[in-house]
A and B are shown apart, each in its own frame.
Chain A
Amino acid sequence: MRLGQGKGLLYGYAAEFDDPTQLVDATRAVRQAGYERFEAYTPYPIRELDEIVPGWNPLAAIVLIGGIAGALTAWIMQSWIAVVDFPINVGGRPLYSWPSFVPITFELTVLFASLAAFFGALGLCGFPLPHHPVFNLKEFARVSEDRFFLCIEARDSQFNLQKTAQLLDAFEPLELWEIEKE
């Protein structure tokens, strides 16, 4: 939807670029202008944006917890089964022959940590989320190909139909879109 043609409720403005340089500059400016509810969409990771777009990243902590949980589970399970649950003399080895417990402990550590990493990431991204207002914009499809979008949400306290539009326009986007809620 080009600017001014929208009928439905407004989700926000989106500026379309074909050059990552422009996008990064624009995003930085938007941030400086005091906006909080904005997001940059790119076809591949651009590390510079990490510093600009607000947000936190607790993933590493989650993975650590997962790993520790895995290790404890494995070691406790093996020792308990071998020593307490059903103590059996296997080949004359002592019940608590701990060296044999190392491999499985390692494997479960990795398993739990990996699961934590994967589902942690998905959770933090809020996936699965097949429906999202930005998809209302037909041209948004190209963000997974070669276009870079900067979108400022209407619910941002700073948001103002004219000012915001002007701010974005200043960076000569290919197009300036307004995205509807529905």
Chain B
Amino acid sequence: MKTDSANNFVSLAALTHGERGKRYWRSLEELSCSPEYQECLHTEFPENATEFLDEVSRRRFLQLAAASLGLAGLTGCTRQPPEHILPYVNPPENVIPGRPLFFATAVPVAGVAEGVLVESHLGRPTKVEGNPEHPASLGATSVHSQASVLDLYDPDRAKEISRLGVWQSAEDFQIALRESIAPLQSGGGDRFRILTDTVTSPTLGDQIQAVLSMFPGAKWHQYDGAGPHSARAGALMAFGRPVHTYYRFDKADVVLALDSDFLACGEGATRFAHDFANRRAGGDRSDMNRLYSVESSMTSTGGKGDHRLPLTYSEVELFARDLCAAVGVPGVTASGSPIHPEWITAISHDLIGHRGAGVVIPGSHHSPAVHAMCHAMNAVLGNVGRTVTHTDPLEVQSIDQIASLRELVTDMESGNVDVLLIMGGNPVYNAPADFDFRSHLHKVKTTIRVGLHSDETATECHWQVPETHFLEDWGDTRAFDGTVTILQPLILPLYDSTPYLRLLDSIVKPPGRSSYAIVRAYWQINAGSGNFEQWWRKSVHDGLIAGSALPSITPPLKTHWAGELASPPQQGIELVFRPDPYLYDGRYANNTWLQELPQPMTKLTWDNAVHLSPVTARQLKVGNQERVELNCRGRTVEASVWISPGQPENSATIHLGWGRSHSGRAGTGAGFDAYRLRTSDALWCGSGLQIRKIDKNYPLATTQLQQSMEGRDLILSATAAEYKNNPNFASQASKQPATELTLYPQWNYTGYAWGMSIDLTRCVNCNACVVACQAENNIPVVGKEQVLARRAMHWLRIDTYYEGDPANPRAFYQPVPCMQCEDAPCELVCPVQATNHSSEGLNDMVYNRCVGTRYCSNNCPYKVRRFNFLLFQDWVTEQTKLQRNPDVTVRSRGVMEKCTYCVQRIRETDIQSRVEDRFIRDGEVQTACQQACPTQAIIFGDINNHDNHVAKLKALNLNYALLAELNTRPRTTYLAELRNPNPELKSNS
């Protein structure tokens, strides 16, 4: 609920010192009073003066030189160098220079894909958009899909075949491969092993099977560092067979997330968020769904919850058990000491009250028991078949990956492996520490590694073979519901790379078959009857194979396990591992967009940290940005501390995927490696963690130092009930001055008037919009040192505020782009008219006119303007040039920039419509953020036309303008957030 602004000294002091009803704190540093913060208070010139060369700018040295030469070119009095045009020799079909083309394909993340359309400018894939027809996307995209295009152009990708670091030709490799595996065939090939990432691609699976049939003794191991190991185990418990499960939140009234961050990350998140938001903010918002979140770390989903209960990992299991008992899962008895009984009763009543319309979803990283119990509850509550769907596993071959990897390791140890073919994954980096994969790997005669990067594994293998990026070659993959997409290439391979398919094919058949041929061949057999050509064209064009979703199954529930549920012991501090929301298991570590993308809750960039609750931190006497040594049963790693409000006590969460040693210029050395603590017996949670403080400070680059609202009405929110009583609470709270009070008459806009509405109820803090904006608008990455210096360049940021008790605060998300104020303060103070208003009410920013006084930024109350303090734009790396959007100016040093409402898109559509002599239709222009948003929290359009979606939203009584009292008259307005707490459950609402 909003808090009214303080209006005298006394209450201001109170508010900032934290005695006014709810407890506020200024920033966590201050809360924890770390010496580092104290120092920051007093010293004005600490060691890290902002301009000293950081990673990014160190490698930018050449660019600086280039830039300073370039400066000459920027000044008025020199001519630009002659430019050359290279026309096609034979023009390809339907390529119109100056107009992009869109191709359907899918982005596979750990084998689970999201259907996308990829924008291509004269053969350069530049931007990924969602595929509206694809079930996993529905037009939206995840963070990873958006960032995947940068992976393609990653200058640190493996570029050539090499043996022990020496360059080899593809032919040499073929020969070597034959020679090494040919002798094995005699012995049935049991000394030949293939290790892959999780494989869902039918064709690839088929290829592997073909190889296996040629080497009957050979074994195929799969390992994915952050894969759904315990989900599978849980399914085995519950059903006695591996089962894949997904959920239909559009049908769910009550959702209980047991340590699950289903809205922001994990397979299907994009779709889940979409369905969830529609049930939450659909129609007249009279029937909102309700979300309970019980979790062991602060996540976006938790922050979104109507009720959030922070429990340690093991407590969550106990909680699940008590809940099972409460909803009447046969055989399950409540644990001796029920934690938070009022929660159990409230939630169980709610769930039982909504039989068939509830969802109990476990976190993929949680224990098998919790998964089993969730299955059981969903079954008992009759949700299965309605809100919960079971199918066969997505994987071609579902195996216990840990066991499989253990087997491989033991065989390597005993020297039973001659040839090991590692395709994808990165076991040397992310295999459980107790496996000691690295040293055993050296016992293998020939190790062949096919992968995108020359990473930890590649450097330990004899052969290193570059893999093709999914945008470079043909293939296929499955979505969360099993829907198959045929991947089509958008660009020829940038490097001399070998796709899996061709590699495996060359083992069983004479080499030379293209991936295209292989994929076609597979589907020719499996497409079923009918005209294959048509089928093929349609499938490729649509980006999915119609009706390829896996059929739903209803496996009988087993409850034999119910009796022997042991209450997991907890001693000391629990260590919880989670896949990183952005880097996943570390495979995206070299993606600078993801590295610099602020983490959902902490807004950290370029680092991971061990998350501790304020209380635990105080007990350990550690503060933010201090270094500690984590000691988990003898294994130690040095980590930096981040105090996370909402983190349960005696529990430390760390994200996997950081601290890479061979990742590339961006990923190497960023953060610390959590895998070093991770053992096969405690994959996701290890107890008995010792934390020892080291006297070392380690600056963490966060983009938001202050996470309290200081009692200002920045985010208006109310409960559903309050909203029913007073539908106009938002408009009443906003302090928009009356028009007649202003000195000057209002400017009136005929024709189009572009505006945006952002629905705070829908936003789930997934940050897809931020990356989308970065990709669309050629926004540079600045590097950790510059983020520390408060110079991050994101045009769009998601402010995350906490309110209430630091132990379990309520979180608020607020995406903040340029507000495009009608009475823009920034324009008034620009001395050179570099920013001013367009006839359609856009707050134009003219980079080429900007002289860089930065006055506009000072005068922007929303601080959404970004300045190129140094040469942030990468001018030398050829690959990154390929990614640039040709419709957006590439800004150089010394100019201001900011969100433009994607004016390039507006203009293109505008011109198109005028050529056709018509008006722009509603929704025809989509901003990049809007298009990416899974929950349609962002709606953009012409507000002069009252039939438009955006105009209707702005007409809602929830609509309010940020800082309206300043009379800037923003074109971007917000819809106040509504929550739906359970009246039965008083606490935390």
A and B touch in the complex (CB under 8 A): yes
Interface residues of A (CB under 8 A from B): 88-94, 97
Interface residues of B (CB under 8 A from A): 744-747, 821-828, 830, 833, 836-839, 969
CB-CB under 8 A from B823, the residues of chain A are: 91-93
Most chain B CB within a 10 A radius of its CB, from A90, A92, A97: A92
B828 touches A90 (CB 8 A): yes
CB-CB under 8 A from A97, the residues of chain B are: 744
Distance in angstroms from B702 CB to nearest chain A CB is 32
B836 touches A92 (CB 8 A): no
Give the complex CA separation of A147 and B822 in angstroms.
Answer: 72
A93 touches B836 (CB 8 A): no
A92 touches B747 (CB 8 A): yes
8 sampled A-B residue pairs with Cβ under 8 A: A89-B836, A89-B837, A91-B821, A92-B744, A92-B822, A92-B824, A93-B823, A94-B744
Distance in angstroms from B934 CB to nearest chain A CB is 35
Most chain B CB within a 10 A radius of its CB, from A88, A91, A93, A94: A91
CB-CB under 8 A from B969, the residues of chain A are: 92
CB-CB under 8 A from B836, the residues of chain A are: 88-91
Most chain A CB within a 10 A radius of its CB, from B744, B746, B826, B969: B744
Give the complex CA separation of A89 and B838 in angstroms.
Answer: 7
Give the complex CA separation of A88 and B828 in angstroms.
Answer: 11
CB-CB under 8 A from B833, the residues of chain A are: 88, 90
Partner of B745, one of A88, A91, A94: A94
CB-CB under 8 A from B825, the residues of chain A are: 91
Give the complex CA separation of A93 and B825 in angstroms.
Answer: 10
Give the complex CA separation of A114 and B43 in angstroms.
Answer: 48
Give the complex CA separation of A88 and B842 in angstroms.
Answer: 12
CB-CB under 8 A from A91, the residues of chain B are: 821, 823-828, 836-837
Distance in angstroms from B970 CB to nearest chain A CB is 12
- Please provide the 5 A-B residue pairs with the shortest distance between their CB atoms, ordered closest to farther: A91-B827, A89-B837, A92-B823, A91-B828, A92-B747
Contact residues of B: prevailing secondary structure = loop
CB-CB under 8 A from A88, the residues of chain B are: 833, 836-837
Give the complex CA separation of A143 and B43 in angstroms.
Answer: 62
Give the complex CA separation of A97 and B969 in angstroms.
Answer: 19
Chain A, residue nearest B749 (CB): A89
Give the complex CA separation of A177 and B821 in angstroms.
Answer: 81
CB-CB under 8 A from B746, the residues of chain A are: 92
Chain A, residue nearest B743 (CB): A99
Given A91-B825, A91-B826, A92-B823; 12 other pairs, CB 8 A cutoff? A88-B833, A88-B836, A90-B833, A90-B836, A90-B837, A91-B823, A91-B824, A91-B827, A91-B836, A92-B837, A94-B744, A97-B744
CB-CB under 8 A from A93, the residues of chain B are: 744, 823, 828
Distance in angstroms from B675 CB to nearest chain A CB is 54
Distance in angstroms from A24 CB to nearest chain B CB is 56
Distance in angstroms from B529 CB to nearest chain A CB is 64
CB-CB under 8 A from A94, the residues of chain B are: 744-745, 747
Distance in angstroms from B744 CB to nearest chain A CB is 6
Distance in angstroms from B971 CB to nearest chain A CB is 11
Give the complex CA separation of A5 and B34 in angstroms.
Answer: 96
Distance in angstroms from B898 CB to nearest chain A CB is 15
Give the complex CA separation of A47 and B556 in angstroms.
Answer: 119
Distance in angstroms from A81 CB to nearest chain B CB is 10
Give the complex CA separation of A92 and B739 in angstroms.
Answer: 13
B827 touches A90 (CB 8 A): yes
Give the complex CA separation of A90 and B832 in angstroms.
Answer: 11
Give the complex CA separation of A93 and B833 in angstroms.
Answer: 13
Give the complex CA separation of A88 and B832 in angstroms.
Answer: 12
Give the complex CA separation of A89 and B842 in angstroms.
Answer: 10
Distance in angstroms from B180 CB to nearest chain A CB is 71
Give the complex CA separation of A44 and B724 in angstroms.
Answer: 89
Give the complex CA separation of A139 and B633 in angstroms.
Answer: 105
Distance in angstroms from A32 CB to nearest chain B CB is 63
Distance in angstroms from A97 CB to nearest chain B CB is 7
Give the complex CA separation of A90 and B822 in angstroms.
Answer: 9
CB-CB under 8 A from B821, the residues of chain A are: 91
Chain B, residue nearest A88 (CB): B836
Distance in angstroms from A90 CB to nearest chain B CB is 5
Distance in angstroms from B136 CB to nearest chain A CB is 44
CB-CB under 8 A from B837, the residues of chain A are: 88-92
CB-CB under 8 A from A92, the residues of chain B are: 744, 746-747, 822-824, 837, 969
Most chain A CB within a 10 A radius of its CB, from B828, B839, B969: B828
Give the complex CA separation of A90 and B826 in angstroms.
Answer: 9
Give the complex CA separation of A94 and B823 in angstroms.
Answer: 11
Give the complex CA separation of A90 and B969 in angstroms.
Answer: 14
CB-CB under 8 A from B839, the residues of chain A are: 89
CB-CB under 8 A from B838, the residues of chain A are: 89
Chain A, residue nearest B859 (CB): A91
Distance in angstroms from A99 CB to nearest chain B CB is 9
Give the complex CA separation of A93 and B747 in angstroms.
Answer: 7
Distance in angstroms from B828 CB to nearest chain A CB is 4
Distance in angstroms from B335 CB to nearest chain A CB is 64
Distance in angstroms from A98 CB to nearest chain B CB is 11
Chain A, residue nearest B967 (CB): A92
Give the complex CA separation of A89 and B840 in angstroms.
Answer: 11
Distance in angstroms from B365 CB to nearest chain A CB is 51
CB-CB under 8 A from B830, the residues of chain A are: 90
Most chain A CB within a 10 A radius of its CB, from B746, B823, B825, B827: B827
B747 touches A89 (CB 8 A): yes
Chain A, residue nearest B839 (CB): A89
Chain A, residue nearest B745 (CB): A94
Give the complex CA separation of A36 and B742 in angstroms.
Answer: 68
Give the complex CA separation of A90 and B828 in angstroms.
Answer: 6
Give the complex CA separation of A90 and B827 in angstroms.
Answer: 6
Distance in angstroms from B845 CB to nearest chain A CB is 13
Give the complex CA separation of A88 and B837 in angstroms.
Answer: 7
CB-CB under 8 A from A89, the residues of chain B are: 747, 836-839
Give the complex CA separation of A88 and B844 in angstroms.
Answer: 11
Give the complex CA separation of A90 and B846 in angstroms.
Answer: 13
Give the complex CA separation of A89 and B839 in angstroms.
Answer: 8
Give the complex CA separation of A92 and B839 in angstroms.
Answer: 11
Distance in angstroms from B868 CB to nearest chain A CB is 23
Distance in angstroms from A65 CB to nearest chain B CB is 31
Distance in angstroms from B570 CB to nearest chain A CB is 59
CB-CB under 8 A from B826, the residues of chain A are: 91
Give the complex CA separation of A84 and B107 in angstroms.
Answer: 54
Give the complex CA separation of A90 and B859 in angstroms.
Answer: 14
Give the complex CA separation of A2 and B836 in angstroms.
Answer: 78
Give the complex CA separation of A92 and B838 in angstroms.
Answer: 10
Give the complex CA separation of A97 and B830 in angstroms.
Answer: 15
Chain A, residue nearest B746 (CB): A92
Chain B, residue nearest A82 (CB): B833
Give the complex CA separation of A93 and B969 in angstroms.
Answer: 13
CB-CB under 8 A from A90, the residues of chain B are: 827-828, 830, 833, 836-837
Distance in angstroms from B296 CB to nearest chain A CB is 49
Give the complex CA separation of A93 and B822 in angstroms.
Answer: 9
